[in-house]
């Protein structure tokens, strides 16, 4: 784990970045950049040992961010879901470029992107050179396009500023803070059918928060100019059908699946580049799912 570094973390109030900031704050100075508009957010971040810093990505308002940083871990994202392309592009694409300009003297910059930038794999395992597409168009209309735009800006800024950069395309993060499997559990609890793409299995590699936190040093080590792109995913092939059925075993709730062309297309990912630095992931997906239920909805467990 990284130690004795000054690290800027963005998006720290979100599901993914909060465990990252919490783990790093034990042995580093962690600066948490955000707007902190919701009541209690600033106090929650300060309680884990991070230092809240108020700023605005879209506006390029980074006056409170020092420039003598060692590392920047960028997780902030806007996903309005209401076709606000102007706002989401300003935050996701323009904002990251302005941030990299401000932090250009850092030792490394890690940009959290998404495997949602890929075209559906059609059952084929895909590496970082695979074709891109508007993968999330039916769920979040701006998301994939804005993420692709952000990657283009990050690649340009890495070269322009000579800033070693990793673009980490994150798959399906989950853990005590929640994640996609937890949303499926809530759908099962409410009797709502779970949409799946026809012709499954609907493969999406899960990545537990213990594993993605343990990967941070490797992601920093991968940083380069031009930027390194890496699939950030679990080393086990898992599917929506698998984890929902296992949630059913744990809770007695019965998943109901509904095939639809508007569901996310499966993504079978090649993690060779990541595993060359990290080795295989350590948390077995079944153990991680059980821990998720124990942390968030222990009343639903049968045993």
Q: Delimit the domains of the chain by residue range.
A: 6-300
Residue 82 has pLDDT above 80, yes or no: no
- Look at residue 9 in the predicted model and tell me its pLDDT: 98
- Using CA atoms, how far residue 297 sits from 103, 182, 291, 294, in Å, is 40, 9, 10, 6
Which pTM was predicted? 0.96
Q: Give the C-alpha separation, 222 to 69, whole Å.
A: 18
- What pLDDT, in 10s, does the model give residues 172-227? 999 999 999 999 999 999 999 999 999 789 999 999 999 999 999 999 999 999 99
As assigned by CATH, the class of the 6-300 domain is alpha beta
- Which two three-digit tokens encode residue 25? 């704050």
Q: What is the pLDDT of residue 246?
A: 98
């Amino acid at each position: 784990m990284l130690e004795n570094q000054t690290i800027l973390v963005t998006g720290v109030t979100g599901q993914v970045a909060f465990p990252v900031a919490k783990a790093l704050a034990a042995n580093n100075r962690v600066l948490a950049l955000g707007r902190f508009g919701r009541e209690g957010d600033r106090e929650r971040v300060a309680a884990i040992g991070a230092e809240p810093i108020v700023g605005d990505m879209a506006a390029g308002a980074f006056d409170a961010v020092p420039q003598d940083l060692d590392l920047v871990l960028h997780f902030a994202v806007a996903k309005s879901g209401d076709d606000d392309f102007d706002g989401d592009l300003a935050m996701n694409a323009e904002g990251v470029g302005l941030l990299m300009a401000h932090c250009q003297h850092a030792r490394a910059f890690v940009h959290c992107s998404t495997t949602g930038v890929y075209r559906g794999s059609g059952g084929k395992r895909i590496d970082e050179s695979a074709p891109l597409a508007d993968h999330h168009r039916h769920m979040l209309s701006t998301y994939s396009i804005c993420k692709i735009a952000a990657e283009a800006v990050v690649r340009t800024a890495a070269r322009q500023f000579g800033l070693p950069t990793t673009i980490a395309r994150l798959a399906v993060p989950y853990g005590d803070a929640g994640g996609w499997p937890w949303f499926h559990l809530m759908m099962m609890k409410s009797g709502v059918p779970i949409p799946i793409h026809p012709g499954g299995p609907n493969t999406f590699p899960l990545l537990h928060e213990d594993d993605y936190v343990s990967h941070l040093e490797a992601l920093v080590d991968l940083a380069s100019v031009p930027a390194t792109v890496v699939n950030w995913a679990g080393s086990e092939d898992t599917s929506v059908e698998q984890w929902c059925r296992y949630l059913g075993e744990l809770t007695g709730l019965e998943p109901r699946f509904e095939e639809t062309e508007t569901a996310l297309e499966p993504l079978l990912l090649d993690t060779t580049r990541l595993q060359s630095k990290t080795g295989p992931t350590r948390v077995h997906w079944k153990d991680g799912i059980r821990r998720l239920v124990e942390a968030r909805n222990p009343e639903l467990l049968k045993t």
